[in-house]
Structure 1
């Protein structure tokens, strides 16, 4: 997780903001209620000093409260992108870029997002990831070479668009 001490805004899309907000609401209500139930059940087993269930529930509670605190912090400093003001003449946060792998001609698209809403399985990559950084500020037709764990990828930007 990110450094809690940074006061710089966390830029994200409206969808990303809403997803984090929904997670926060869920954790505050259902998550806390479930941990409370687990703690109550563990207390019923007796001596808390040797109660593994109680220790496990307390650990889960600590993780839950840490995540809630983290989400509250991130949402409090969030700057939501206005898709109507995004310029698609170059790759920026909030744009979807279609790229072609020069080595094998495969094409794929990524939406460039802030690190808080990065989800590679959903084709959303962080602007701070190696590929995201390499693509930022590039234009259609530009070629980039990105060092990734499996070597260097040679990519050509085919299209840049903004989703509403």
Structure 2
């Protein structure tokens, strides 16, 4: 009998998909090389809350369920155990991702530009395309932008085109369909929080 035939299943890798991935655990794209991880204070707080919820609530519950399932006999056919272990890997991957992104976050408060007419990070901009269609976008961080809410990442083509522009500027936007002209109609920022 060969030595390798008696090796415990515990020492084998379940799949190559389990490898640690810096950007696994997040659907966000990796940060472009040499850039900062800009984030609004609300975006930072939301990601931090997610991290704390995973560490303080969800992970302990899954660990408890896996521990209970492990006591129920054959682990190779125990669905609760297998699902629990898979969920633990997903949680741990997301925790690593969030921890790394929050460590390098550069929190930038857009309310510092309140009342300004130039586009900076955190601005909400209404622009009109050359076909007359108006659109409104808010420039946010890579990890916090939610397109369904009209938010765009600061590294997106539209955000890069709009940054540093002013109300009334006509800009050239490169799209897959070709170059388009857009005109900035309005720029706004959230109001600063009232002191104390």
Q: Distance in 2 between matches of 1:154 and 1:58?
A: 52
The 8 Å contact of residues 157 and 173 in structure 2, kept in 1 or not, is answered as no
* Counterpart for residue 99 of structure 1: 127
Q: How many residues align?
A: 160
* Counterpart for residue 81 of structure 2: 54
Q: Distance in 2 between matches of 1:54 and 1:17?
A: 34
1:10 aligns with 2:42: no
Task: Note the aligned Cα RMSD (angstroms).
Answer: 2.5
C-alpha distance after superposition, 1:3-48 (max 9, x if no partner): 59x7964211111111111111111122112312331343243111
- Which structure has greater strand proportion? 1
Name whichever of 154-163 and 121-130 sits farther off: 154-163
TM-score, with normalisation over the residues of structure 1? 0.82
* Counterpart for residue 4 of structure 2: none
Q: Distance in 1 between matches of 2:30 and 2:157?
A: 19
Name whichever of 64-73 and 45-54 sits farther off: 45-54
Secondary structure at the residue paired with 1:115? coil
The 8 Å contact of residues 101 and 154 in structure 1, kept in 2 or not, is answered as yes
The 8 Å contact of residues 143 and 156 in structure 1, kept in 2 or not, is answered as yes
The 8 Å contact of residues 145 and 155 in structure 1, kept in 2 or not, is answered as yes
Q: Distance in 2 between matches of 1:29 and 1:72?
A: 14
Distance 1:61 1:7, change over 3 A: farther
Q: Distance in 1 between matches of 2:162 and 2:34?
A: 26
The 8 Å contact of residues 44 and 107 in structure 2, kept in 1 or not, is answered as yes
Secondary structure at the residue paired with 1:155? strand
* Counterpart for residue 173 of structure 2: 145
The 8 Å contact of residues 167 and 186 in structure 2, kept in 1 or not, is answered as yes
Q: Distance in 1 between matches of 2:129 and 2:36?
A: 33
Q: Distance in 1 between matches of 2:164 and 2:99?
A: 31
Unpaired segments of 5 or more residues in structure 2?
1-22, 24-28, 192-196
TM-score, with normalisation over the residues of structure 2? 0.70
